[in-house]
Structures are given as structure tokens and as C-alpha cells.
A and B are shown apart, each in its own frame.
Chain A
Amino acid sequence: MSLLRRRKVPENERTQVPDPNPDGNQKDKKIIDKKIEIQKSQKQQSKWNCVDSCCWFIGCICVVWWVLLFLYNMMPSSFPQYMTEVITGPMPDPPGVKLQKEGLKAKHPVVFVPGIVTGGLELWEGHQCADGLFRKRLWGGTFGEVYKRPLCWVEHMSLDNETGLDPPGIRVRPVSGLVAADYFAPGYFVWAVLIANLARIGYEEKTMYMASYDWRLSFQNTEVRDQALSRIKSNIELMVATNGGNKAVIIPHSMGVLYFLHFMKWVEAPAPMGGGGGPDWCAKHIKTVVNIGGPFLGVPKAVSGLFSAEARDIAVARAIAPGVLDKDLFHIQTLQHIMKMTRTWDSTMSMIPKGGDTIWGGLDWAPEEGYVLSKRRQRNNGTSEDEATESKVKHVNYGRIISFGKDVAKAHSSEIERIDFRDAVKGSNVANHTCRDVWTEYHDMGFGGIKAVAEYKTYTAAEILDLLQFVAPKMMERGSAHFSYGIADNLEDPKYQHYKYWSNPLETTLPNAPDMEIFSMYGVGVPTERAYVYRLAPAAECYIPFQIDTSADDDDEDSCLKDGVFTIDGDETVPVLSAGFMSAKGWRGKTRFNPSGIPTYIREYDHAPPSSLLEGRGTQSGAHVDIMGNFALIEDIMRIAAGAKGEELGGDLVYSDIFKWSEKIELPL
């Protein structure tokens, strides 16, 4: 614009005024020259003022930006690594390179089974508001849509409240292929590091398979709706056949562990409920199951997640800006939406702690009692003050997964007055019309119900189930058709042929495959949620009536109570007990859960946080997802994939007290 203006004005004047005084003398010219300059400067000043400085400013920024971008692009790709090495000393070779030098070659085909939330989901059919998102990721990737149209996003991510399947008119499906879970969000790896290392010794698409499934559905429903289990079966068969009969190595992670447990039962069960693979399918096709961070017996986190939507899954909290989920920012509505959405996901119920009081402890007892946060460290340092510290330790009632009030959590069971909530009358509907769009089942409970829940004071693992039944009857009704949380008395009972028992290791037998091996690999050394102190939330409109009591805190440095959460050893999400018990005791040797005596191995990885920011998420991490980048774990997996047996790896590798704790659990085997 201004360019045009400048040009025009003088042009007009030129036409009006012909050149005066063509033979003017030198003096005149000099004066005139000066005059011109003054005028010009006046003009320039006035013109540069407003729009131009804006433009100038933008131009500056752009130029700087481009220059930086250019430099960044020109930078040799080894530069960051070089810098890191300068600062922190030489980095160890990635295991892929190391093992390639050792001469390891791809042998067994590898199947990855991703866990909850880490797999991508994409839209295939949606409502009007999701226009233009066809085959774009709703979950995973950049999560751009969460910010752009949050309500639409929540609507599309929710499942039907009654069936646990697609709501009408919406089809959200898992992304398939390795891209489904290699990176959860840009730069946040899940399987990518492992894939890259496997590729070094010769793996490629034809020998690797990502068994992605819709992790929102209950396990059997993934087969009903997407035939996901059939697909896994067919792919494993194909890979075994095309790789010269070498059996597959299965690597499930997190909830994928339970999913694959379900698969192993499903594939041998007769059609139509099962896959009809026959009783020796697993023996024929599976070499090893390498469970990474497996919540075999559930996670306490799932309880608080369902109860008050407050426990945050690592991946969610880290990858999505934490502010979005934070109730301080958007107030309680956000949490309510999240709660409403997650309660339609059947899969979350697969992770409710299983085995009741026998495993997780009663009011006054828990297998982990006597655990001191700092104890293990000390032992690792070589000092032997075990006895001394242990005597000092206060008794922590881990068995009480939920207690109302800090004092209740600490008191002896005889001192607690409990009023049974089960018969409490649910009061009139508290929900008013303004809350309708964020409806949760709490509004059906009424004040009476809420009060009754709080007055029962404390809940153990078995009672948690009753509690959830009480506060979320619809969800639990849906869920109990797909999952079970008990311990089988008699595994021969024909009722255990139903698929709802398949993902509970305490109610199924392992397949008849004595040559198979089962590994439990998990991180230890990270405080992990184990029990919660709750309080009643201050009444407000459309609120969730229960909250973790973040003020409950111990002054003692050694204490396990922090911000209302009792923590224990684990990998930040899954307590050691849940990840290790089956391999340490439940399946060790020939037991009734493991009739063919499949050998089991425990491989623990002690957590060491990255020493500097440059290392990213570290190569020695033991955290639930970050462990996928742990070099020791990757090396173990690669050796197994290249043909090694459990004994060749060195058998068990244990840092935690898992064997001690397992001994304390009285379970008929």
C-alpha cells in the first residue's frame, strides 16, 4: 500500500510542474539539494512511523527465525550428541550397535502389544463438529484438537455408556502398524527406541508387528468390533510361517500384558467365543512373553482414577499440557468431563486391583509392610542398618487403599468406627439442569449416599469393589461382564471358561506350553501410588464429591505419605507387587495357575534418573513408559529375540523385596 502511495504522489506533481529553470546555477542547486533532503527526511519520518515499524519488526523477527532455522538445518545431525558427550562424558553405545558388533542377528519375529493410552486412535466417522478430521489422530500425535474443540473431542473419545462400544455415528479406530505407538506425541517415544535398536540387528517391518488395538474397549470387545484378536492370531501365524518356523517373541507393555493374557486364553478356546487355535497353539507359535511393567494384579491408581478422576496416567499428564487437566485452570468441569469420558472406557476396569485382601492386604496387614523408602538405597550403598531402621518404622496400613482422613489411615482397625454404606439409601437426585452436559453417576447418589461412603472410613481391595459398585453402578455392571477380580478356588470349574476371567492371572491357567518362557521386566526405585487418603470435597455445583486430601502429609522424611498418597516401590505406576508377584510366586514352578511349569524370570531395572537435561528421558530410567528406552532392558529383549533363553540372560535380576513380600501372601498354589 504505502509503496503505491509513494509512487503516485510524486508522479502527479511531476506532470503538473515541468522542469523549471533548466539552466540554473550551481548555488541554487546546492540549496535545492539541501531542501530536498530535509523534505525527504520529513516525509520518511512520517511514513516509517506506524505500519512500517510494525513491518520492520516482523521482518526482523522473521529474518532471525529463518537464520536460526537455517543454522539448525545445516547443523550436522551428530551435533547434539557431540555436545552431550562433551558435557557428560562419552555415552555408551546403544545396545543395538553393541550387539550388532557381537554378531547378533534377527531370528525370532517380534510382536509388540502396546498398553493403555499409548496407542494412537484415529477418526473414521464423526459428527459434524469433527469435520476435516477424517483419518486424523484424535489420540496421540499433537493433541491439537483437544485445544481447538475440546467438547467435540471428548464426545468422540467417549464410548457408549450402555454397550461400551461406539456411540451411534462415531467410529474411532486404532491406528495400525508400527506408527501406532512408536511415538505417543512428537518427541515422546514409547516403542521407537526399541524398534530402532532391533532394526540394527536386522529387524524390519516383516519381522516386527505392532498389535495395536482400541485400548478403550474391553478386551473381548476388541474382537467383537474390530476382530483385533483374530488379526493378531493371523499375523503371528504369518510371521512364524514366513520366518522359517521361528516362534514369535511377544513384548507386551503395561495393560498390553493383560490383553495378551486374554489373547492366550482366547486363541486356544474353541470358536465362537475363542479363536479356535487348538490347545497347542501357544506352544507352537510363542517362544517367549516378555512382559514390561505388567500390572498383572492391577494398579491402585486405577481406583482413584475411577473414583475421582484424580490419578493421572503418566503419559496423559506429561504429553498433554498438564494445565488442561488441572482443575485450577478450567475449574472442576474439566475433571468432570474427563471422568465422564474415562468411565465409558471398559479397559480402565481391567486394572482394578485383583485378588482382594489376600494380595493387597487387609485393614491391618499388607505384604509390603515394613517397607521404608530410603531403605533400599542404603542397602545398595553397602551399609547394613536394615534391622535398625526397620524397628524405627511406623506401621503403614497399605491394605487400606482408600481411607477418609489421615488419622483413619493411621489408626488401628479396632479404633475405627465404620458404618456400612451398602444399604444406604441413595438420596434424591442432586443433579440440576445446569450440570446435565457433565453428568456423572455421582449425581444419582444424593447427599445421603455420599455421606454414607465417607462414613465407612476405610476400604480394602475387596471393599473397593463394593464401593465402586455403589458409586458407579452402571459402569461396574458393564465392566463386570468383561472382567473379574477374584481368586479362583477351583480352576477346573467350567465357569472359568468364560472370557471375563481370561485377563485375571489368578483365575486362569497358563497355556500348556512348557517350552515357552515368561519374563516380568519392570522398573523399581520410583515411588508408586499404593493407597490414598481422601476427604469430602466442599459442596459445589456439578462437583465430584470426593478428593484426594493433598494436605495429608507426614513430616518424617522417611515417610511414604505425601500429598494424600501412600507410595511404595515400583515404576511410578505399577507397584512391584503387581508386576512381580505372578512370576515370583504365582507361576513359579508347577502351580495350579501354571500347570505345565512354564519357566518364569523376573528382571528388575533400578531407576536412575537422567543425569542432565540433555539426556532426555535417560537410558537407565525405570519409570513405567521411560523404561522402554532403558538400555539394559533393550539389550535383554534383543538377546531374547536373537534366540537367548532365560538362563543365558542370567535368570532373575532382583533389586526389590518382591520375594519377601510374595512369601507373605498366603495363596494356595
Chain B
Amino acid sequence: MGSILRFLKLCVLEPVKSGELYEKKAQIKLDNEKKSFEIPKIEKKDKGLSEEKKRKRRPNKEWRCIDSCCWAIGYICTIWWLLLFMFQCLPGLKVPEPPGTRLKREGLIALHPVVMVPGIVTGGLELWEGRPCSEGLFRRRLWGGSFTEIFRRPMCWLEHLSLDNETGLDPPGIRVRAVPGLVAADYFAPGYFVWAILIENLARIGYEGKNMYMAAYDWRLSFQNTEVRDQTLSRLKSKIELLYVTNGNKKVVVVPHSMGVIYFLHFLKWVEAPPPIGGGGGPGWCAKHIKSIMNIGPAFLGVPKAVGNILSAESKDVAFIRAMAPGLLDSEILGLQTLHHVMRVSRTWDSVISLIPKGGETIWGNLDWSPEEEHVCNSAKKMYQQDFDNNGNNSDSRRLFQVQEPTKYGRIISFGKIVSDLPSSQLQTLASREFMSNNSSSNSNAACKGLWTEYDEMSRENIRIIAENKAYTMKSLLDLLRVIAPKMMKRAEAHFSHGIAENLDDPKYNHYKYWSNPLETKLPDAPDMEIYCSYGVGIPTERSYVYKQSPSGRCNSIPFQIDSAADGSENGCLKGGVFFVDGDESIPVLSAGFMCAKGWRGKTRFNPSGISTYIREYKHKAPANLLEGRGSESGAHVDILGNAALIEDVLRVAAGASGSELGRDRIYSDIMKMSKKINIQL
């Protein structure tokens, strides 16, 4: 890897440097010319000498071209190595004491086995069988690690990461499987930790391979399909049972992250359901084997990001963008083709659908209302507020303004900035039926065949109608998705559901497609279990989007784009076409916290046995300087796994503490207020 980097450096930097060098030489030549005017008299005496020196000049001439190149490269290399050497010799910077060491001194020891459930994109995937173009990649990581294959054979890479468009399983002749073990998600890419810091701290109080387990699964598949294809759920069940038995009948602490949270929710239902669709663990399985579930950055009610992703492949997941070269995905560098490919691949991944916001308008708000409407983006960051005041607007008028016109977060997609602010009475909305029936000839042409997405099957007319419909709430959005990506939604809706259950005892809810939706399942009967919602707050998080129709190009078949020109509504929540609320950069507070704050609090119909829930929020604090890396107080979606306070909580729970010993709720955001506004039957 190092040598590849150096090579890249050579390609990119060197021409510039050597160019500079020549300029400098030219400069020197000029300077010397001027200088020599000074001493013309001595020159005559030296004429004889100069003849001799002329001969010497010849070898010098050869120094010119290649040699100066070599010289420059050597120069740069030497400096590079010197710096590298000095960096290596640098005595370890004063690292703040890791929580594990401190807690070990306090006397904490490993007690409950720990199961980690990674989220979407953070788990590694490796190749087991592939097409000829992937020769030599057997058991190499296609996803995670250094991602070198993206650069070397991008088309081959995309082909192997795609799933079958019809079944959502492996395409014929390709087997890509999840990497098992702790290595699956300790580091996403070299140096970019995911679980590594948590693992290290757990190890300090005595954890090791026998009482830690990484429940790696293929995050591209729908949850039930991971069982169908890989028996991942059975494996997880067997592992938990084994951990329970071999650790002296100590219940396990489960730590799911991001999408892993809903995956584990699915598991909880699966394991108690009777075979063949369930694991046949019986109704007491969870009560017997699980002590607590520490959900980190939970995407319980979905993320609005997923919508943007499906619609136009434009919202990018944190890990995704940071680890890979950002330029690669950027539409401005390689044209729309890249985005298009990404879209095509990610649309074959059923798991993306699991992240579509759940609960419809009841949770996410309708055209005129949303639970977060009082959110002031400026107060999320005090810096903003100061700027605001300095600009001369007095705070009274601002407050007034907000009372009059709260941000309409409920409109998850609006076409045009104006639309996003209009009162609903002025919006002309079409019934979704209308654009569904209006199906005319496809406008795909042969040139674009390689890049087929379902957009090509839609007519321009349809696209126009969609855009004219102006604003979409969560409810109409699902209809919209069904229109623009009928195949994907058909495939995925067999596996996921996004509604709210009227009557949970309805036998239809025994179907697995409801299991990952907390609003359509009951928690298991395990009154001693504890559920934590731990997430970061204080980072602006995508909540709704302003879209525009993209200019039609030749193969430019993603007809919609986020309107990045839409900017700066007065309360600062709109930036680059995206409305922000409080959250952890990926997941809005509402999605992460609502179930713990209200849906499951006390004995409700979703939580019939009254499992106690706790909210643990961690306020984001950006790392003070570059040396700190990603910081030990971060609240960002993935970086929070290195947050010292969170790690301490996990360690304490693993060592036996209960929620009340941790100090119960720890809240910075308005989650309680927001939850209160949501009218849901409990």
C-alpha cells in the first residue's frame, strides 16, 4: 500500500515538482547572466582556462534531464523517509488514558459475554467465487480494507458487489461472503477504526476471543435472506448459546450499531418464532440469554438519508465517503456515470430498504407538521447563534419568525425551495394513482444499456409529473418509490414493512417482514432485559431534501438531483438543498431515540413485558486538533464507537452494571419534547 501511495505521489506530484525545478533553473540562469556583467575584465585572462572547462561541461550537460529528475525524486524520497523515520521515533503522544485502563483499576472484570453486531457498510466482504475478471482475488476483501480493486478493475468490482436484481441473492457464478470474526469490522479501512477501540478497551478488563463475538453478516442482503443463504441467524443463536454456557451461564450483552440494531431486532423475533421461518428458540429464549441490548446510533425508525440514496444516489454514508477517495464518487469528476453505477449496485441491496423511514406521517410529520418543527438549528451549535446575533438580527424577531413559519420537515422531498416553505393549501398535489397509471413507452436507448437503472423505463412525462407533484411526505414518498423503482420495491417489500401496526395481535404480524420494524412488532417477553439507546447528538443531520429535475443529458438518466443551490433559510436549517436537524450526522435524534423515549417506555403495546429502556446521549465535541484523530468525544455516527464516555458505559454494563447504576437517562436533545408531540397509540 505504501509503495502504491508513493507511486501515486510520483505520478501526481512529481511532474509539478520537476516543472518547478526547471523554472528555478531558468531563474538561476537569468540571475547568473546578470551577475556576470559585473566582472567582464577578469574574463579575458581566464579565456585559456575557460577552454578547458568547456570540455568539462559536456558531462554536465548529461546531468540536465534525467538526472535532475532523479535528483528531485531522490530528494523528495529522502525527506519523506526522514519525516517518516522521525514520526516513528516520536515518543508516543500523550494519549488520554483509555477508559479500559481506568476501569480496570477500579476493579471491573469481564463478566458478561459481549456480542457485537456491525451496521451497514462497515463489515468486510470477501470473494469466494467470481468471474474470470476477478482472478487472484479469492478470499480477498472486496469491501473494507484498502479498496485497491476499485481502482484497478472498477467494473469488475461493481459487478461482484451487485446482487441479483430479481432475487436479491447471489448472481449466478458469484459468491461474495461476509468476513467472519472480529476482523470483520474492527477496522473498516486501514487506520479507520470501527470497533477496534471498543474491542481494545474490553480486552483491558479481560475480554478475549472466547467471550467476545462479532456477529458479522452480509449487510447487502435482506435480514431474512442472511439466514436463507448463510444461516447467519442460526449461527448467531448458536454462538450466543455457546457464550452463555461457556461463561458460567452469564447472559450476553449485545452491542449493535447502526443498521445492526434493526438486524438484531429482527433476530429477537426470529429466534423465538417457531421453525421453519424462525429459529425455534421458544418464548423464553431472549429472557434466558440476553442481559441487555446497547444500541449504538440506532436507526430504529429509519433514516431520511436512505431516501435520498435510493432516489438519486446522492446522500453518502459516512464510512463510504470518508474511506474511499471522495473524488471517485463525485459526479463532477467522472461524470454522472459513477453515480449511476453506484445507484445501480446499491439498488440491488435489499438492506438499503430497511433504512427507509418508518411510521409514515405519524412519526415523520405531514405537509404542515413535524415533531421537530421547533428545532432551531442555530441552537444546536452555539457558534451559529453568535454569528446570527452579530449580523444584526435580534433574537426576538427570529423567535417570532420561527413561530410563524416552522421548517416543514415533514416534506421529506420537495421540488424547489419555494415549495418547501409554502403552506399546504397552496400546494397542488396529485393523487399518487395518477402518475402510477400514466405509463408510456420507455425512453432508454441502446447506448445506455450498460448502465441500466429503472429510471430508463420511465417516460419523460412521468418524470415531469413527479416533479410537479411538488412535495412528498413519508406516506406519498413510498408511493413515489414504488413508481420510480418498482422492481426494487417489489423485491424489498417482501422483506420489510414501513407502517405502524393497528393491532399487534393480528396473525399477519407473524410474518418476518414486520420483524425489523419496531412499530409493527412486540419486544420479547423478557422483563429483566434492558434496552439502551446510545447515540450522539449535536451534529446537523439530513432530514429532508430540496430536489430539482436534472438537465437531461445523453446517458444522464438519473432525472432528479438535490438542488444544492437551495440554501440558507433564515434559521439556518437549509444548506445545499438539505434541511438539517439534530442527530449524529446520519441518524436524526427522532429515529434513534423515539422508541426508548416513548414507544417502549414503560409497559406499552410494543413492549408488553415492560423492558426498561434508557436513553444515553453523547454530545458531539469535535477533536481539538488533528493529532487527536477522530477524537475521543465525538458523537458522529461511526466515530462514536471511539467515544470514551460511551465505551465506559459499555464496559460497565458488560461488567455487570444495570441501567440505574449508570445513571439512567442522559439527555441533551429535545427528544422527550419531540416524542410527546407524536400521536401514537401505545
B78 at the binding interface (Cβ < 8 Å):
yes
* B56: min CB distance to chain A, Å: 6
Q: Which of B35-71 contact A (CB under 8 A)?
A: 35-40, 43-44, 46, 49-50, 53-54, 56-57, 60, 63, 67, 69-71
- Knowing A10-B35, A19-B37, A177-B181, say if A41 contacts B56 (CB, 8 Å): yes
B210 at the binding interface (Cβ < 8 Å):
yes
* B97: min CB distance to chain A, Å: 14
B464 at the binding interface (Cβ < 8 Å):
no
Say yes or no: B78 contacts A199, CB within 8 Å.
no
Say yes or no: B135 contacts A238, CB within 8 Å.
no
Please measure, in the bound complex, the distance between the C-alpha atom of A41 and the C-alpha atom of B231, giving whole angstroms: 76
Residues of B within 8 A of A331 (CB): none
Please measure, in the bound complex, the distance between the C-alpha atom of A206 and the C-alpha atom of B241, giving whole angstroms: 18
* A584: min CB distance to chain B, Å: 37
The CB with the most chain A CB atoms within 10 A, among B73, B230, B245, is that of B73
Residues of A within 8 A of B74 (CB): 54-60, 62
Please measure, in the bound complex, the distance between the C-alpha atom of A178 and the C-alpha atom of B180, giving whole angstroms: 9
A50 at the binding interface (Cβ < 8 Å):
no
Please measure, in the bound complex, the distance between the C-alpha atom of A52 and the C-alpha atom of B73, giving whole angstroms: 11
Say yes or no: B181 contacts A176, CB within 8 Å.
yes
* B682: min CB distance to chain A, Å: 39
Residues of B within 8 A of A7 (CB): 24, 27-28
Please measure, in the bound complex, the distance between the C-alpha atom of A293 and the C-alpha atom of B33, giving whole angstroms: 81
Say yes or no: A17 contacts B37, CB within 8 Å.
yes
* B629: min CB distance to chain A, Å: 16
Say yes or no: A59 contacts B242, CB within 8 Å.
no
Please measure, in the bound complex, the distance between the C-alpha atom of A311 and the C-alpha atom of B234, giving whole angstroms: 46
Q: Tell which of B6, B129, B203, B235 touches A242, judged by Cβ atoms closer than 8 Å.
A: B235
Say yes or no: A10 contacts B28, CB within 8 Å.
yes
Q: How many A-B residue pairs have CB under 8 A?
A: 188
Q: Tell which of A57, A69, A230 touches B3, judged by Cβ atoms closer than 8 Å.
A: A69
Residues of A within 8 A of B29 (CB): 36, 40
B480 at the binding interface (Cβ < 8 Å):
no
* B178: min CB distance to chain A, Å: 8
* B207: min CB distance to chain A, Å: 8
Q: Which of these binds chain B: A27-35, A258-266, A312-320, A408-416?
A: A27-35
Residues of A within 8 A of B21 (CB): 3
| Residue interface bits A529-554, CB-to-B below 8 A is 1, else 0 | 00000000000000000000000000
- Knowing A14-B34, A36-B33, A57-B74, say if A231 contacts B246 (CB, 8 Å): yes
Say yes or no: A242 contacts B67, CB within 8 Å.
no
Please measure, in the bound complex, the distance between the C-alpha atom of A54 and the C-alpha atom of B74, giving whole angstroms: 8
Q: Tell which of B40, B54, B208 touches A32, judged by Cβ atoms closer than 8 Å.
A: B40
* B212: min CB distance to chain A, Å: 10
B128 at the binding interface (Cβ < 8 Å):
yes
Q: Which of A1-28 contact B (CB under 8 A)?
A: 3, 6-7, 10-11, 13-14, 17, 19-21, 28
Say yes or no: A38 contacts B67, CB within 8 Å.
no
Across the interface, name the chain B residue whose C-beta is closest to A3. Answer: B24
Say yes or no: B35 contacts A55, CB within 8 Å.
no
Say yes or no: A124 contacts B203, CB within 8 Å.
yes
Say yes or no: A242 contacts B231, CB within 8 Å.
yes
Residues of A within 8 A of B34 (CB): 10, 13-14, 17, 19
A66 at the binding interface (Cβ < 8 Å):
yes
Please measure, in the bound complex, the distance between the C-alpha atom of A66 and the C-alpha atom of B76, giving whole angstroms: 14
Q: Which of B593-633 contact A (CB under 8 A)?
A: none
Across the interface, name the chain A residue whose C-beta is closest to B31. Answer: A10
Say yes or no: A45 contacts B60, CB within 8 Å.
yes
| Residue interface bits B179-196, CB-to-A below 8 A is 1, else 0 | 011110010000000000
Say yes or no: A230 contacts B246, CB within 8 Å.
yes
Please measure, in the bound complex, the distance between the C-alpha atom of A3 and the C-alpha atom of B231, giving whole angstroms: 64
B77 at the binding interface (Cβ < 8 Å):
yes
Q: Tell which of A20, A31, A58 touches B77, judged by Cβ atoms closer than 8 Å.
A: A58
- Knowing A41-B57, A196-B138, say if A69 contacts B36 (CB, 8 Å): no
Say yes or no: B210 contacts A32, CB within 8 Å.
no
Say yes or no: B67 contacts A56, CB within 8 Å.
yes
Q: Tell which of A3, A55, A176, A199 touches B128, judged by Cβ atoms closer than 8 Å.
A: A199
| Residue interface bits B404-425, CB-to-A below 8 A is 1, else 0 | 0000000000000000000000
* A35: min CB distance to chain B, Å: 4
| Residue interface bits B57-101, CB-to-A below 8 A is 1, else 0 | 100100100010111111101100000000000000000000000
Say yes or no: B242 contacts A230, CB within 8 Å.
yes
Say yes or no: A227 contacts B238, CB within 8 Å.
no
The CB with the most chain B CB atoms within 10 A, among A35, A63, A78, A124, is that of A35
- Knowing A40-B29, A56-B74, say if A134 contacts B50 (CB, 8 Å): no
A234 at the binding interface (Cβ < 8 Å):
yes
- Knowing A57-B74, A70-B7, say if A205 contacts B180 (CB, 8 Å): yes
Residues of B within 8 A of A200 (CB): 129
A to B CB contacts below 8 Å, 20 in the list: A13-B35, A14-B34, A19-B37, A31-B43, A36-B29, A36-B36, A40-B29, A41-B53, A44-B63, A45-B60, A55-B78, A135-B186, A177-B180, A199-B129, A204-B175, A205-B180, A206-B231, A227-B246, A231-B246, A242-B235
**Interface contacts beyond A59-B69, A199-B138: sample of 10 additional A-B pairs, CB < 8 Å, sorted by A:** A31-B43, A32-B43, A35-B43, A36-B32, A39-B32, A42-B53, A44-B63, A48-B63, A70-B7, A179-B181
